Amino acid sequence: MKFFAADKKQPLLILSLIFYSLSNAMMLRAGHLGSGGFFFSAWWIIATVSGLGVWHAFPEAGPRKTAAFILLFSILIRIPYLFFFAEGDDIYRYLWEGMIQGHGFSPFVLAPDSPALAHLRDEFWVGINGKPIPAIYPPLAQILFRVLDCIHHSVLTFKAFFAFCDCMTTAVLLLWSHQKKYELRHVLLFALSQVSLVFSAGEGHLDAVMVTFLAGGLFLYDTGRFKSGFFLLGCAVMLKIIPILLIPFLVTRKNIRHLWTAAVPFLSIIMVEGNFISVLVWFSGSTWYNGPLTWILRKIHLGSAPLAAGAVFGLWALREFFFGADRLRSAHILMGLFFLCTMVLHPWYLLWGVMLLVFFHSPTLIALTASVCLTFTVNDINRRLGVWEISDATVLAEYIPVLIVFLFTIYRHHSTGRNSFDPPQTAAVIIPAINEETTIAACIRSILSQTRVPDEIWIADGGSTDETITIANAFPGLRVVRSAPGRGIQIARALEFSGADMILICHADVQPHPAMVEEAMTVLSENRTLAGGAFRVRYDEQSFKAAVISWINFLKTALLGISFGDQCQFFQRAALPGGFPAMWLMEDAELSFRIREAGDFRYLLSGPVVSFRRWKKKGITANFTTILSLTLRFVIFRRLGLLPDNPEAFYRRYYGQNERP
């Protein structure tokens, strides 16, 4: 089979490749970032869009051919940028700091304008930006500068190495995607990104090297090789300090014994003289350039914009630390959060996030990699006039399209999952019950009157002593399975007998709306990366208290991704290869995590009617306090790896000390 076999997408592929090559040729002709003003930005956007066209239309031709083509094209498209695109001024600092180390001086101690270094000034010294500032790049970066300078004191040496690292990142992403059985064409989102091309092979930024170590570390981590993974992540930190934010999110009780390897690269600190941390902290807090949230906070004259932005970052990072289910997705979200809250957002910083576009096809980040070109006029003005300022109009023009795309993706429930599932063909409803004779009949009738009647209806009884089983047996077609008590144990037992593709859990005191099963089947069929979801509840009591509890429940699921059993959780059976969490209590919270670990989670607003009986029986305040404390304890214990296999304490706390499931 030929690589470019004729198919419906072939014209799009050829046209996209033509425009991609043409637009890159025009940017190379400009020679400088932002040179030509509007026209450079226009070609940048055309290159971004045409690159997406290549990605969308790229054919499936077997892993070897696909990987070979992507890697070869990545190398060929970067070579012209080495010779025909002007370097950025950061590379002059790399050259300078590498050179003065060879003369026995520490770049952490002496800034480029130090009189003690006057005799070493060369043609590269003139182009250094921020001459009064000592080095802010970590020790491993300084060692790298020294090694490259020893090879040859030239811009091309540094640019060639950075371009090599960029191609190495492409190779790592190809290997990673192959091992995880993802489509290799998604690596084109990195390989053809203008951010990757221009700021590695073109301008020559250290970020290209850091991203190589970061990609390697995350790849090894994601494939279970924690020791070497943490080591490479430690190297990434010692190249540019920012990846240190990711490491706490990757540590679990299972892999914490390997964390020490991340500290090994920190030994490079003893190989250099001086303290880079203090300079880095000063630089980070005193400089503003293009940070979106801090720009807004500064415009509303908030006293301490960096502190407020840091608080936003810290709060959402805590949310991700405890409630994030997929470690790699948490890293991706943290990158985006950093882009939002940082004081300084240079366009080459986007390399850090572009690398993970391969797995999480974020339209918001893609939009930002396109609209960032509107800031390039700042680079052109700085090169010609030495003025480094960005106007409010430029910031608005850059971020308004990104905001529109972000809101649109929320509205359209854009997929970010890494796994894909086949559309479900059959559906089962499982009703866990213990002594529910007053509510079970109404629940069953609601299920039997669905617009899409489930293929299986299971009553998972935990030892009822009333008429629950008798009432259930009166309905034809229902199946009753008995098990040890405990909701998770009962559901898991019923699941052993069920053969359905989609499972919906419905508590006995819940009355589903008529189209609930159909809606769950439809949303799973239309979204292949969707692993499951839950519904918003409405209580059977019309009161202010019930409305408040309903809204709190809504915010809990919408913001934290945690759903409870009375929200009629549903999931693809294939999303739980390890089976349902057979727990006495908190099985619903655990199920929420497992769904989000497997794929995307969808929160549907057309929910069931739920009994308000427990809230009235126990009291609003007491019940709310109990649920809140149990949920927080469960989440914290789970994150720290301290959760027992079947936490009896949670059951007794909720139902009472003398109760036993």
Residue-level pLDDT at 197: 94
Inter-residue contact 524 to 413 (CB < 8 Å): no
Domain boundaries, the chain: 1-54, 62-281, 288-418, 427-619
Rounded Cα distance between 187 and 180, Å, is 13
Q: In terms of pLDDT, which residue wins out, 608 or 531? A: 531
Q: Which residue intervals of 511-560 are DSSP H helices?
A: 516-526, 544-560
Residue-level pLDDT at 458: 94
pLDDT digits (tens, 9 = 90+) for 339-385: 999 988 999 999 999 999 999 889 999 999 999 998 887 766 655 65
The number of residues in the chain equals 661
Rounded Cα distance between 248 and 165, Å, is 26
With 60 as the cut, is the pLDDT of residue 547 above it? yes
Query: Amino acid letter at 513?
Result: H
pLDDT digits (tens, 9 = 90+) for 191-202: 999 999 999 999
Inter-residue contact 264 to 227 (CB < 8 Å): no
Residue-level pLDDT at 415: 66
**Of 89, 98, 290, which is closest to residue 204 (Cα–Cα)?**
89
Residue-level pLDDT at 270: 73
Lowest mean pLDDT among 81-90, 218-227, 457-466, 616-625: 616-625
461 backbone dihedrals φ, ψ, rounded to 5°: -90, 135
Inter-residue contact 374 to 399 (CB < 8 Å): no
Residue-level pLDDT at 383: 58
> Of the spans 202-216, 499-513, 528-542, which averages the highest pLDDT?
202-216
Enter the tokens of residue 480.
Answer: 């009753």
Rounded Cα distance between 517 and 514, Å, is 8
Residue-level pLDDT at 277: 72
* Banded pLDDT at 307 (limits 50, 70, 90): confident
Please state, in angstroms and as integers, the Cα–Cα distance from residue 56 to each residue in 14, 186, 235, following that order. 12, 9, 34
Residue-level pLDDT at 661: 47
With 50 as the cut, is the pLDDT of residue 225 above it? yes
Enter the tokens of residue 42.
Answer: 């226009």
Rounded Cα distance between 210 and 245, Å, is 14
Residue-level pLDDT at 283: 66
Residue 231 makes CB contacts below 8 A (sequence gap 6+) with 217, 261, 262, 264, 265
CA 612 to chain centre: 37
Residue-level pLDDT at 525: 93
What does pLDDT average to over the chain? 88
Q: In terms of pLDDT, which residue wins out, 378 or 401? A: 401
Q: What would the DSSP string read from start to end of 486-519?
A: SHHHHHHHHHHH---SEEEE--TTEE--TTHHHH
Rounded Cα distance between 311 and 477, Å, is 55
- Give the CA angle between residues 547, 551, 557 to the nearest 5°: 145
Pairing status of strand 479-482 against strand 530-535 = unpaired
With 70 as the cut, is the pLDDT of residue 565 above it? yes
536 backbone dihedrals φ, ψ, rounded to 5°: -80, 140
Q: In terms of pLDDT, which residue wins out, 309 or 268? A: 309
Inter-residue contact 442 to 551 (CB < 8 Å): no
Q: From start to end of 372-497, where are the E strands?
A: 427-433, 456-461, 479-482
Residue-level pLDDT at 660: 45
Rounded Cα distance between 350 and 525, Å, is 34
Residue-level pLDDT at 303: 65
For 8, counting Cβ atoms within 10 Å of its Cβ (0-12 exposed, 13-18 middle, 19+ buried), the class is exposed
CATH number, domain 427-619, options 1.10.3720.10, 1.10.10.2120, 3.90.550.10, 3.60.21.10: 3.90.550.10
CA 150 to chain centre: 39
Question: What is the dihedral sign for C-alpha 19, 21, 26, 30?
Answer: positive
With 50 as the cut, is the pLDDT of residue 657 above it? no
Please state, in angstroms and as integers, the Cα–Cα distance from residue 649 to each residue in 586, 633, 643, 655, following that order. 11, 11, 11, 10
With 50 as the cut, is the pLDDT of residue 92 above it? yes
Per DSSP, the three-state class of 205 is coil
Residue 533 makes CB contacts below 8 A (sequence gap 6+) with 520, 523, 563, 569, 570, 571, 595, 601, 602, 603, 604
b/e 559-585 (16+ beta carbons within 10 angstroms → b): eebbbbbbbbbbbbbbbbeeebbbbbb
Residue-level pLDDT at 382: 59
Question: What is the dihedral sign for C-alpha 605, 606, 610, 616?
Answer: positive
DSSP state of 422: P
Query: Amino acid letter at 42?
Result: A
Lowest mean pLDDT among 158-162, 334-338, 555-559, 605-609: 605-609
Residue-level pLDDT at 184: 93
Inter-residue contact 570 to 502 (CB < 8 Å): yes
The mean pLDDT value for 87-105 works out to 93
Please state, in angstroms and as integers, the Cα–Cα distance from residue 381 to each residue in 37, 266, 289, 390, following that order. 10, 38, 15, 10
Inter-residue contact 340 to 353 (CB < 8 Å): no
With 80 as the cut, is the pLDDT of residue 417 above it? no
Rounded Cα distance between 396 and 654, Å, is 51
The mean pLDDT value for 135-155 works out to 93
**Of 327, 363, 475, which is closest to residue 48 (Cα–Cα)?**
363
Inter-residue contact 632 to 625 (CB < 8 Å): no
With 90 as the cut, is the pLDDT of residue 278 above it? no
* Banded pLDDT at 638 (limits 50, 70, 90): confident
Residue-level pLDDT at 646: 58
Per DSSP, the three-state class of 69 is helix
Residue-level pLDDT at 612: 81
The mean pLDDT value for 200-206 works out to 94
Enter the tokens of residue 538.
Answer: 């409405």
**Of 269, 272, 237, 282, which is closest to residue 107 (Cα–Cα)?**
272
